[in-house]
Amino acid sequence: MFGTGKYRARLAGALVAALCAAGAAQAREVVPFADGIGPGTIVVRTNERRLYLVNGDGTAIRYPVAVGKPGKQWSGATQIDGKYYQPDWSPPAEVKRDNPRLPNLIRGGSPSNPMGVAAMTLRGGEYAIHGTNRPRSIGTFASYGCIRMYNQDIADLFGRVAVGTQVYVMR
């Protein structure tokens, strides 16, 4: 549906960006960033509730995010291991236990799908960087450990990074 190989992610990213073009005003901004981290790396600062995409020229693109609520936060190094446009969502066991009325599957594109327009899964767990169907949660401690972004921001980030991108989550 989206082509093959390396072009699939590019085309999906372009489609995500087009879908979000009419969204709210951009929340991202370019800011000074001099932590000695290589260009193209993603840094999430949980306490700031911000995600940074390092440009490598002493700046980074900063995005507001929602992060794990107390007791659900984590830190460490990982990588993006998948990129998905309009992903289906199955609640993890912990989420289903806390919200037993949730269906076992919510199809991508549904307004009740918490993944929003796109998701990038993180190696080594059930976590992802993804859009949201709850934009008011951005800037808060709201998730079970995932990093939530405005849909227009995940569309922007989706087009800028690849599978294998290094991700550091810091408290």
d(CA 94, CA 97): 5
d(CA 150, CA 21): 12
* Catalytic site positions: 130, 146
Query: Does the CA dihedral 131-89-137-54 come out positive or negative?
Result: negative
